[in-house]
Amino acid sequence: MKRLLITGAAGGVGRAMRPRLRDMAQTLRLADMLPITDADTHEETVLCDLNDAQAVREMVRGCDGILHLGGKSTEGDFETILEGNIRGLYNLYEAARAEGITRVLFASSNHTIGFYEQDQRLKTTDPMRPDSLYGVSKCFGEALASMYHDKFGIETAIVRIGSCFETPANHRMLSTWLSYNDFADLVACVFRAPKLGCPVIWGASANPAGWWESVGAEAIGWHPKDSSEIFRAQIEAMGPKPPVDDPNSRYQGGLFTVEPIHQRQGGT
Ligand code: NAI
Ligand code: 15L
């Protein structure tokens, strides 16, 4: 691949992916609304707010694929989510359509199904149960990706990421953790597959404590290798698992289920 666009490249996952995706493309185009000042020789940077359709069109021009990580990544006020995750995603797909880009990895989230309880085992085909406005925006994103596939043939891997951090941070994440290396392997499988379609994929490592059926993506050769179990002793040493009625022990989405509806502070 000549040029892979990474949106949200200034964020936690974006920063972790950059060295791991070094060989995925001749050039990595790193885009974010925040400046990125440490680009390497094989990288180029674009400052772009996803809410700005013209800027998004320019951001995607000349790219062969899009790893879409950009947007509000936690619960927030509706306007912020609207700008980054709803209008922002529409801008991205419209730009991809106009510029002839046919493959995307969309970073969806476990918060699309966060109100399922932790003793439930889910398939990707189970109905969504979002736990937050953020989760609802990811449901919108999944639907938008599906429509651009059916109508225009743009292929998207919809990856419902669990918790993608260096290490799991609490008991819940022993079930939801996705290692950076497993995610980077998934990105490689997505952009190298001869045919992708528009699958929903659980973005989790091979965690024995996991809740999701068929983690991995057989059709494109993705088999996660890491396991959160190596961190179990460390997590248990931090304190006992919260009681069963605590949202972090009851719901798959954890504390997102008790987030209030936030109001934007200070006007528009
Ligand atoms: P992050 O918050 O660290 O990074 C997101 C980046 O998007 C930031 O650099 C931010 O400046 C940028 N951004 C936000 N709004 C924007 C806008 N309107 N225009 C342009 N850029 C904008 O999030 P993280 O953890 O790196 O996650 C990456 C993606 O993966 C996000 O879409 C998140 O929703 C998704 N995800 C992450 C999970 C995780 O455990 N890290 C779990 C599930 C989903
Ligand atoms: C997400 O969707 C968030 O982007 C991330 O910050 C974590 O909260 C993660 O889910 C999680 O559920 O652990």
Is the CB of 73 inside a 6 Å radius of any atom of ligand 2?
A: yes
Nearest listed ligand to the Cα of residue 252: 2
Region of residue 71 (phi > 0: left; psi between -120 and 50: alpha; otherwise: beta): left
Q: 73 alpha carbon to ligand 1 midpoint, in Å? A: 4
Question: Which ranges of the chain have pLDDT less than 50?
Answer: none
Q: Domains of the chain: which residue ranges?
A: 3-258
pLDDT tens for each residue of 103-119 = 999 999 999 999 999 99
Is the CB of 164 inside a 6 Å radius of any atom of ligand 1?
A: yes
CATH superfamily, domain 3-258, is NAD(P)-binding Rossmann-like Domain (3.40.50.720)
| Residue closest by Cα to atom 13 of ligand 2 | 163
- Positions annotated as catalytic residues are 134
Is the CB of 70 inside a 6 Å radius of any atom of ligand 1?
A: yes
pLDDT tens for each residue of 39-90 = 999 999 999 999 999 999 999 999 999 999 999 999 999 999 999 999 999 9
Q: 225 alpha carbon to ligand 2 midpoint, in Å? A: 21
- pLDDT for residue 266: 81
Ligand 2, residue 172: give the atom nearest the CA. 13
Is the CB of 14 inside a 6 Å radius of any atom of ligand 1?
A: yes
Is the CB of 158 inside a 6 Å radius of any atom of ligand 1?
A: no
